[in-house]
Structure 1
Amino acid sequence: MNETNAGGVRQRSVEIVVPVHNEAHVLGNSIGRLHAYLEASFPFPFRITVADNASTDATWQAATGLTARLPHVHAVHLEAKGRGRALKYVWSRSEADVVAYMDVDLSTGLDGFLPLVAPLLSGHSDLAIGSRLHRQAAVVRGPKREFISRSYNLLLKLGLAARFSDAQCGFKAVRTEVFRALAPHIEDNTWFFDTELLVLAERNRLRIHEVPVDWVDDPDSRVDIVATAVDDLKGMGRMQRRILTGRTRVALPPRSGTAHVTAATHGAASVEPGPDGGEARAGAERTSPPHGSRRPARPGESGVSGPRVPRRATGAAPPRRRRRGGQRPRRPHAPDHHGRRRPRRHRTRFALMRLRAFRPRRTPSPRLEPAS
């Protein structure tokens, strides 16, 4: 899976985990469809891992048959049940740069997979989730599941101050190094695993990218809604206690693949690769000021080459604004009743004008004419 391109540079890879439990009747069709789609349209190296967690039917035999027939499919078997346990086991041992998972019924449209993992492969984001509650999502499901999903996410916003829109959509991805740092702090191994992962990521100020998805409800879903809701409420109470006691902080690795631009003293800023090859640090090309100039030369002046950059990026101090005649700038005045700032003398003049306008006029006294 660690492939290189024509220039000898290692390409970033993705591992997709499909956790299954007694899904022998749909496993072959779903994995075959997913494998064909990724081979035809996914531009990065990938691996599909079927994680069988304590199945009692022919799921494991179907998974091993797929590994012999399809080149990019692998399978693992776990003795204990739990979606979170299966994801934690495979993701912690993955050699890929990005790990993802999706439900075996492929309820989520596969066209959203590349937009899901692209921000993680570029290093821009740390986690990515598919959202069925996004205003641009296209969802087909019954009113009962819609009510339960919206109520659960509303409780997360009220109780845990969550800012993500959909915690339980089976369509997520995370950078492998980030998950390895968060995994020891995730206690749940069942359905609350997703929520705990997202809450820990938000509490540690990680970037979570949301993708609106096309989602069609699976009528054959065998999730116990009541038991899952009770476990989720218990998990929310546990996370509230952890937040109140300050036990959500995690030491995380730096985000790779991003460019940190620092202010250059003079001249144009240039980006240099960091020591790990992923990060970048900005340098500067110092230029000598032209003859007779009072300030350092900037690109585009006196034969200095390079793109013109704003004064803020070069670190040069902004010029002082002075009035004509070398006077000191006026001090700001409070706004008048029109909301405009005026100098003191103008305010005094307008006050006099208003007094004159409202001053009562003197009426001439009547003349007394002598009686004839």
Structure 2
Amino acid sequence: MTLIEPTTGTHKDPAVVPPGLPDNRTMTSVRRGPVDIRSAVPVLDVTIPVFNEERDLEECVRRLHGHLRDSFPHGFRITVADNASTDNTLKIAERVARELPELVVVHLAEKGRGNALRKVWLASPSPVLAYMDVDLSTDLAALAPLLAPLISGHSDLAIGTRLTRNSRVVRGPKREFISRSYNLMLHSFMGARFSDAQCGFKAIRADVAQRILPHTMDNSWFFDTELLVLAERCGLRVHEVPVDWIDDPNSSVDVVRTALADIRGMVRLTRDLVSGRIPVPELRAALARGPLPASSRTAEQTPRSSLFGQLVRFGAIGAASTLAYVLIFVLFRTFLDPQFANFLALLITAIANTGANRRFTFGIQGGNPVRHHFEGLIVFGIGLALTSGALAWVHSTTTPERWGELLAVVGANLVATAVRFLLFRLWVFRLPANVPAQPGSPAQPNTNQPATTEESTTEASTLTETAAS
């Protein structure tokens, strides 16, 4: 990796951690206080990873530079991270850098957004690090609320989200479906709580980045997800900002291929977490925030255990699952035999049902979703045996019409639903007596101490000064 100075065009090696940044090998704890806005080092470093973007790069850089110059009250710099471009992207970036003193150009011999962000962020001297896509699909008006909680010390990461009610998004149904499906998988399989993993509009505090970036492995698009999942497992606070987002019709990203790579990344990250390759307990002990006063209340330390409430939530999820099961069964039955159609319909809805009940019926977040899904698949096997037996019985006594098959599997599925609730409550999601909520849930207290009164006063003072400027 080479770094190009905007004024001279010469190269220097950024492999050494810049002065003023803590060395990850010796740092033992991180206290997120307000960022020092009086330092000579730029407060913000915005990275734009690019590959063959000669058409859009200059307009993007100038627009972002003008926005920061006019609206950001502190020092900043923009880093263009060229990922082995084969067109004129690097030459254009170097030319603009000679004109704009806040622009730095980094050239990397390897491709990959994750690789670029990891290397640039670890070498940056700025206390707040951000990145955005070169197409600037996200309205830059969201940049201030993205950065404010990091500068004040309120949050550790901040992400733009396109999937909340207050977001305004213009994009095709294919991308919308894939994005929402991917985030549903993250919530179900990995216990994630953030709403949008892949929006190209994120920021992180450098003190936090120095601790967790060395444990990320993905060099491409899954890097975002890996970073966010690891942050949540370590007890960090992720701030979400609803954004206005317009899809770039000329984007060169292969959505389907990226989605498949993300699924492979989920499998690999799950394996890393289960095997202990990532030292989550040590990172959590050093980085997790202190407990809130409300965490001492018993009602907020245990999952929602009211039988009536669980039945209501389970029934609502079950009704939606049954409807989805019927639709999927009817669809697959048009070209598959009834047993295989039943297997696929039941498997798909069982996975979604386990994730939804884990989160909403039994109030479990964080913890070990892999174990819960494994036990949920055992419960799925019981449901499969009941519905398959019902189909076999119907076909052994008569030659049923399609509606006869449907009645048989729906009736057996209702029995399987009752069995599923009992097994979920008594086995899969059962919480041992006198055990608090699982780590990672909102009510779980952390080991760190809360900020002192003096620290809170300093933070409030800094916020006031920032607002005034």
Q: Do they fold alike, i.e. is TM over 0.5?
A: yes
What's the % identity of the aligned pairs? 54
**1:70 maps to 2:100:** yes
Partners of 1:234 and 1:272 in 2: how far apart?
43
Partners of 1:170 and 1:130 in 2: how far apart?
8
From 253, 272, 287, the equivalent of 1:223 is 253
Letter of the structure 2 residue corresponding to residue 10 of structure 1: S
- Partner of 1:132 in structure 2? 162
Gaps of 5+ in 1: 263-269, 281-372
Q: Secondary structure at the match of 2:204?
A: strand
Letter of the structure 1 residue corresponding to residue 80 of structure 2: V
**Structure with more relative contact order (C-alpha pairs < 8 Å, separation 6 or more):** 2
- Partner of 1:82 in structure 2? 112
Alignment of 1:111-122 (within 5 A): 111-122=141-152
Partners of 2:37 and 2:134 in 1: how far apart?
35
Contact 1:48 1:74 in 2 (8 A): yes
Contact 2:236 2:287 in 1 (8 A): no
**1:271 maps to 2:454:** yes
| Larger Rg, first or second structure (1 or 2) | 1
Contact 1:53 1:77 in 2 (8 A): yes
Partners of 2:191 and 2:38 in 1: how far apart?
42
Q: Secondary structure at the match of 2:192?
A: coil
Deviates more, 1:240-249 or 1:181-190: 240-249
- Partner of 2:208 in structure 1? 178
Partners of 1:261 and 1:19 in 2: how far apart?
36
Contact 2:234 2:287 in 1 (8 A): no
**1:61 maps to 2:91:** yes
Gaps of 5+ in 2: 1-18, 20-35, 291-447, 462-469
- Residue 230 of structure 1: CA displacement? 1.8
> What RMSD, in angstroms, separates the aligned Cα atoms of the two structures?
2.9
Partners of 1:242 and 1:175 in 2: how far apart?
24
Contact 1:22 1:57 in 2 (8 A): yes
Alignment of 1:294-333 (within 5 A): none
More strand by share: 1
CA pair 22-245 structure 1, distance change in 2 beyond 3 A = same
- Residue 255 of structure 1: CA displacement? 7.0
Contact 1:19 1:52 in 2 (8 A): yes
Q: Secondary structure at the match of 2:202?
A: strand
- Partner of 2:192 in structure 1? 162
CA pair 271-195 structure 1, distance change in 2 beyond 3 A = same
CA pair 52-143 structure 1, distance change in 2 beyond 3 A = same
- Partner of 1:203 in structure 2? 233
Letter of the structure 1 residue corresponding to residue 39 of structure 2: R
- CA-to-partner distance for each residue in 1:308-367, whole Å, 9 max, x for gaps? xxxxxxxxxxxxxxxxxxxxxxxxxxxxxxxxxxxxxxxxxxxxxxxxxxxxxxxxxxxx
- CA-to-partner distance for each residue in 1:36-92, whole Å, 9 max, x for gaps? 111011112110000000100000000001101112111000000000000011000
More helix by share: 2
Partners of 2:37 and 2:105 in 1: how far apart?
30
- Residue 9 of structure 1: CA displacement? 4.2
Q: Secondary structure at the match of 1:25?
A: coil
Partners of 1:8 and 1:214 in 2: how far apart?
28
Letter of the structure 2 residue corresponding to residue 116 of structure 1: L
- Residue 118 of structure 1: CA displacement? 0.7
- Residue 231 of structure 1: CA displacement? 1.1
Contact 2:235 2:289 in 1 (8 A): no
Contact 1:123 1:255 in 2 (8 A): no
From 59, 63, 71, the equivalent of 1:41 is 71
Q: TM-score scaled by structure 1?
A: 0.67
Partners of 1:37 and 1:272 in 2: how far apart?
32
Letter of the structure 1 residue corresponding to residue 228 of structure 2: L
- Residue 102 of structure 1: CA displacement? 0.2
Structure 1 residue ranges, 4+ long, deviating more than 6 angstroms after superposition: 277-280
Contact 2:82 2:108 in 1 (8 A): yes
From 39, 55, 67, the equivalent of 1:10 is 39
